[in-house]
């Protein structure tokens, strides 16, 4: 997937967690609000939309792209 396509993509929690794992970030979904968080720091990587998916640009930004 190209960078711009990834920025515009909506991704599932499993896909977001896997992408973070590839970049050596351990991510998990917080139970109370479904936010994707970095388990090591507690920082929010991305917030879930109404369908429970995450905006690709938020994840890429957190990973430093």
Q: What is the residue extent of each domain of the chain?
A: 3-63
**Contact yes or no for 20/13 (Cβ under 8 A):** no
Cα(61)–Cα(32) distance, rounded to whole angstroms? 23
Residue 1: which pLDDT band, with cuts at 50, 70 and 90? Answer: low
pLDDT score recorded for residue 15: 93
**Contact yes or no for 55/13 (Cβ under 8 A):** no
Handedness of CA 34, 35, 37, 43 (dihedral sign): negative
The model's pTM: 0.88
Mean pLDDT value across residues 46-62: 95
pLDDT digits 0-9 by tens, 2-45: 777 877 889 999 999 999 999 999 999 999 999 999 999 999 99
Give the up-direction half-sphere exposure of residue 49: CA atoms within 13 A in the CB hemisphere.
Answer: 10
- Comparing 48 with 65, the larger pLDDT belongs to 48
């Amino acid at each position: 997937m190209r960078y711009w396509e990834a920025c515009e993509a909506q991704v599932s929690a499993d896909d977001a967690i896997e992408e973070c794992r590839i970049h050596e970030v351990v991510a998990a979904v917080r139970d109370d609000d479904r936010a994707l968080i970095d388990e090591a720091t507690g920082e929010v990587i991305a917030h879930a939309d109404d369908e429970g998916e995450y905006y690709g640009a938020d994840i890429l930004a957190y990973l430093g792209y």
